[in-house]
Structure 1
């Protein structure tokens, strides 16, 4: 088990621009298009958004979580990406960049893994209700640079084909 004093530091954490879609404390999960994906029975504990410069594994903008105080929907913030949580759903793999203006602690990293494990179970139930096949699963932690390497620069994919990519 990692000690609390161990931190993931800014030394190798790349900067990314994130657009907030779901403010911390919100019950509505919106996609990058602004449409409501689902209404949660519990508030989101993090600011959730996307990185407009990259396309993630599902063919949509790369997902990002921004730790810290609540940010309004539509806020654009340049922040460091300290890692990524891998997420599999409906036979697709997608990264969620983990971003913050401050170094990430081991406790924050552990809490993020707990949250996304719980979130994957909730998404699995939602997919069952929607008649969508395939498991939802938290795949664990990886480095931000690895996740960015798996993503496709948005400029390489024409806007009209991104959703189907």
Structure 2
């Protein structure tokens, strides 16, 4: 995992704001004294500068996940805590792929980001392992179907046919 420089942290904070209104799927997992927030979306929703500084590929055929851990008794908006995170994603035909996780430290705490390939209409299953600050481990699965923007998908299809 890599840690961002102070200059890039400002962009990471903007990234967190960008995620607020555009998450396709948001899951909250209660894990004892902790709450795990897990979101997935199409990475095309991110601004180019934010994606670059967060180390995430921004493209219509790329998905993005965000994960954070907070104390369950913490006020809304409290700092996200460090944890150890690993994620793999499975396609409907059973192919598994590890997701490279990037640790992003901001003024609001620690978030974990990862990018993965998507196809229009594809159903993915995420297998998420989180080693929590108290030493316990939480595992959960999350399923999400992804859709590309129709204009982008049509342009890519037309380009593939023309190149064909």
Flag whether TM exceeds 0.5 (same fold).
no
* Larger RCO: 1 or 2 (CA < 8 Å, sep 6+): 1
Structure label with greater radius of gyration: 2
Tell me the TM-score normalised to structure 2 length.
0.31
Tell me the TM-score normalised to structure 1 length.
0.31
